[in-house]
Amino acid sequence: MATRKPPPPPPPPSLRLSIVVSPTSAQGSISLRKEVELVRAGALFADHIEIVSPVAELLGGMAAAFYASDTASVELLLSLDDSTVKHLGWANLPPNWRDLLRRALKNNGAATGHGRDAMESFREMAMTTTQSLRDTAAELVVNAGGEELLAALNTGVVSLRPMFSEGDANGADFAQAYTRELEELLQDGRRHLLLDDFTTSMARHLLEEGRVQPASRATPNAWEAALGTGMIARLPSFHTAPLDELLDVRRDLDGPLARYRRAVATLGEKVHTSPFAVGAPLEVDHLYRTEVLPALAEIREELAHHSFVREYARTLGENPTTFLTGLSATGALVVLATAAPDVAALAAAAGLVSPVTTAATRRQEALREIKKNDLFYLHEVNRRLT
């Protein structure tokens, strides 16, 4: 009887980050810049990100609707009330204009004579209007700073968590729906919450007033989210890198990321206040200054200490500092550092043990140890984005 293969191990639980952002404006216009800022840092920390954002939901819905097929776009046009349609430039419409437009789309080319010309004119008018609406939607998204957010939504790593079901949104329900989403997320211990300042204040009041009983993991998970993304956002090279580059870096560093998350959880245990407290960002600053920066400096020092040329000098029994000074004076330093890996590979293939192969081996062993540092992920992200 054939031995049955054991089932594969289950995949590790994913880290799901929920970003909640209240409506914000910049220079009098609605803005998505806060959403983009938090998503950029979240992309380097989480496996999946969901966004609760009224502005993102509004603009994302507009973009999705108007960039759908012509038929879907016209259906959206048909759903608008008469006053809105007239405001779009369709003046003096007959009361049955919706029926006429549907017939024009359905029977395109079937009518004859004057009827066909009228139908075609009506159809072209509808297409022109929907294109105008598409352009307006695109302009709103761009002006709000949401181009990167739309690109992130297209990757599947980021998704929108709708506040309203279709046809259910109205001004009177907004505050209630926003509060309901926040309460549900506070009660969900499987997610890591990352909130903007206004929503942090809301969460604090909900908890202080006893209006919601949070999950046991809500507070530690929120600290992990704040620390994990906050340390990344403080890296010198972070803010200039485009989002697609951030996602590429994230995909290449699964192992270091797992150890970084362990470090974040340990750092979170050193904080004795709520992640929803007024002074929480100051705690992140303090830990970055006292824990992260010294660790990153140590990693850089270790990498420099175990550079190939320094290991080569040690293999020859030379003092690395004296050896480096001599090589720099003769110009041989650059040549050795560039050619050494190739020389080491050739020697290893020939079965020879040389100072070059010994130095290369020692350097690789040192690198493996350095990469085990739980904060190596931050060093490598910063290096790759520089």
Q: What DSSP string runs through 84-114?
A: HHHHTT--S--TTHHHHHHHHHHTTTTS-HH
CA-based nearest residue to 97, from 112, 84, 110, 109: 84
List the beta bridge partners of residue 24.
31
Q: What pLDDT was estimated at residue 8?
A: 67
The CA-based dihedral angle spanning residues 367, 368, 370, 375, taken in that order and rounded to the nearest 10 degrees: 130
Residue ranges covered by each domain of the chain? 302-385
The stretches of 331-386 forming alpha helices (DSSP H) are: 332-349, 355-371, 376-385
CB-based contacts of 304: which residues, under 8 Å, 6+ apart?
310
Q: What is the pLDDT along the chain (386 residues), one digit of tens a residue?
A: 556 677 666 666 799 999 999 988 766 678 888 999 999 999 999 999 999 998 888 776 666 555 555 565 566 667 667 776 666 666 666 777 777 777 766 665 444 444 455 556 656 766 676 677 667 777 777 778 878 887 888 888 999 898 876 555 554 477 888 999 999 999 999 999 999 999 999 999 999 999 999 999 999 999 999 999 999 999 999 988 888 899 889 988 989 999 999 999 999 999 989 999 999 999 999 999 999 999 999 998 887 765 554 544 555 555 545 544 544 444 444 444 554 455 445 444 444 445 656 666 666 776 778 888 999 999 999 999 98
- Beta-bridge partners for 159: 50
